[in-house]
Structures are given as structure tokens and as C-alpha cells.
A = this chain, B = another copy of it.
Amino acid sequence: MESMPLVSRAHKPEDTVVQVGQVKIGGTQPVLIAGPCSVEDGQQIMEIAAQIKDCAHILRGGAFKPRTSPYSFQGLGEEGLRLLAEARRRFGLPVVTEVLSEEEVELVAAYADLIQIGARNMQNYALLKKVGAQGKPVLLKRGFAATIEELLLSAEYILASGNGQVVLCERGIRTFGSATRFTLDLGAVPLLRELTHLPVIVDPSHAAGRWNLVGPLAKAALAAGAQGVMVEVHSRPQEALSDGPQALKPERFKSLAAQLTALAQFLQVTGGKADG
């Protein structure tokens, strides 16, 4: 591996805990991040936030959306950010949202508690440097064809730019398989935990692409040692403007959250997140 002094566990043996509002990622409790793929309008985001506020720790929702086609819904932009802030005020959950453009880093940082760099931008080095030069914590998603080493080196860009508050997120890689949207690489979780002190979470929703696989994969993620999961939740998945098929309905998410919380406690008691 190439030199990565700032992210390497060899250089900092103890786990880094990233503080997002009142929530700690990388501490003793796994963090549950939930919410819709996109913020679509005020009613949608408030309704979802209201339903998940007691079982999720952080609210997710896209305001700037990276869409494959220029003709797909591109997100509400700053209006989406304002709605997320309003949801935070009303329901007490810190918010995570994605930034797509160097020119919008300041804007997004003004609203978000945790700034997401999406999979497609994992090697957008100009953007990595920008989010590294501001003060909000960063959620860095693994590119869908990025190696573990490349993910760590992209995190190193952020740390080298001055920001040590970085959370890594495995979200599935592109393989020959088409039965799921991506192939969730859970071997990456214990491997990353070994190589870096940064917290590691998992997004089972994008990997699965189908809501009914999200629960089993979320549990598997915790069992593999992940320190949190990020799950897409939508009140009316069939009407979602993006990624509806992979969204859980709120009541399903509540049930899953209870199972995940119990599983995390069990795993902590029986020890051995990462030992063989």
C-alpha cells in the first residue's frame, strides 16, 4: 500500500470518533442514518422525519442529486437544504446531505451537520480538498469501482487538507452480477477497521437496489463490524422521484432499527466484532 500516514491505524491506534451534532459515529453504539433518497418537498421530508425520529440518529436526504441523465430530477438545491434544516429543528435529528460541486461546499456546509461525498465523486480530488478545508465532518462513500487503498487515499486527501472528521462508507461495488444493483463488499468492513482508525459504516440500500434485501444486509453489516448503517426510507416508495424500489417504508424501518439495536447490543456483549 502507498503511504497514508494520516488515516492509517498504524499511526493512530485508537478509533476516531466523529461528532455529528449530538451523535457520535465510531463510538460504542452503532449509528442509524435514515431518510429519503431525495428531499422532494416539505410534506415528504417532514412526514418521514417524524416517523423515524425515535429510531434513527441522523436524517439523510439529497438536495443536490448526482443523476446519470441530465433530464432526471436533479434535486431541490438550496430549497432542499432549507427543508432539511427545518426538519432538524422540528425533530432534533442532525442531517447529512451530498455536495456535488466545489462551488456549493460552503452552501451545503452552512446547512448540513455531515457532508456527503458520493461514490461518483470519490476521486474528485478538487472536491475532496474543498471539503477538507472546511470544518464540518465528511461522509466519504466508496466509489463503485474503487479499491480499499483508493478509498483510504481519498480520505487521506481530506485529512491532509485539514479535516480529520471523516466517516467511510461501503455501498457496494460494480461486478458482473445483476441480481442486485451492486455487490455489497462486507469483507471491506473488517479490513478497513484493521487498516484505519476512521469509523466505517455501510449503505445496504444502494447495494441491494431492492428493499427486501436491505434488512438482512444491514444486520450482516453490523455483524461484520460496521459502526453504523445508512438506509433509505420513504413513505410512498412507489411515488419516489428517485430510488423508490430500494426504500423501506417507515414502519419496516422502525422494526429493522429495533432489530439492529438489539443485534448491536448482543454483538457487544458476546465480543468479537472483528476477532476470528
A residues adjacent to B (C-beta < 8 A): 2-4, 66-71, 100-104, 120-121, 123-127, 143-145, 147-150, 153, 156-157, 160, 173-180, 183-191, 194, 207-208, 211-217, 219-225, 248, 252, 255-256, 259, 262-263, 266-267, 270-276
Task: Pick the contact of A266: B101, B188, B225, B263 (CB < 8 A).
Answer: B263
CA distance A219 to B273 in the complex (A): 9
A214 CB contacts on chain B under 8 angstroms: 276
A190 CB contacts on chain B under 8 angstroms: 212-213, 216-217
Q: Known pairs A66-B123, A147-B179, A219-B267. 7 more at Cβ < 8 A?
A: A70-B125, A100-B126, A102-B103, A173-B177, A190-B212, A212-B274, A222-B223
In this complex, what residue of B is CB-closest to A66? B125
A102 CB contacts on chain B under 8 angstroms: 101-103, 126
A4 CB contacts on chain B under 8 angstroms: 69
Given the known inter-chain contacts A100-B126, A216-B273, A248-B276, please indicate yes or no for A3 contacting B150, CB distance below 8 A.
no
Q: Are B144 and A145 in contact (CB under 8 A)?
A: yes
The 26 sampled A-B contact pairs (Cβ below 8 Å) are: A3-B71, A66-B125, A68-B153, A71-B160, A101-B126, A103-B103, A120-B123, A120-B124, A121-B124, A145-B145, A174-B176, A179-B188, A179-B191, A180-B188, A183-B185, A184-B185, A187-B208, A190-B217, A194-B212, A216-B225, A216-B276, A220-B220, A220-B221, A220-B224, A222-B223, A223-B263
Candidate in A102, A212, A219, A262 with the most chain B CB atoms within 10 angstroms: A219
Task: Pick the contact of A191: B186, B213, B221 (CB < 8 A).
Answer: B213
Given the known inter-chain contacts A145-B145, A211-B276, A272-B259, please indicate yes or no for A217 contacting B187, CB distance below 8 A.
yes
CA distance A157 to B120 in the complex (A): 15
In this complex, what residue of B is CB-closest to A208? B187
CA distance A189 to B224 in the complex (A): 15
Q: How far is the CB of A20 from chain B (nearest CB, A)?
A: 24
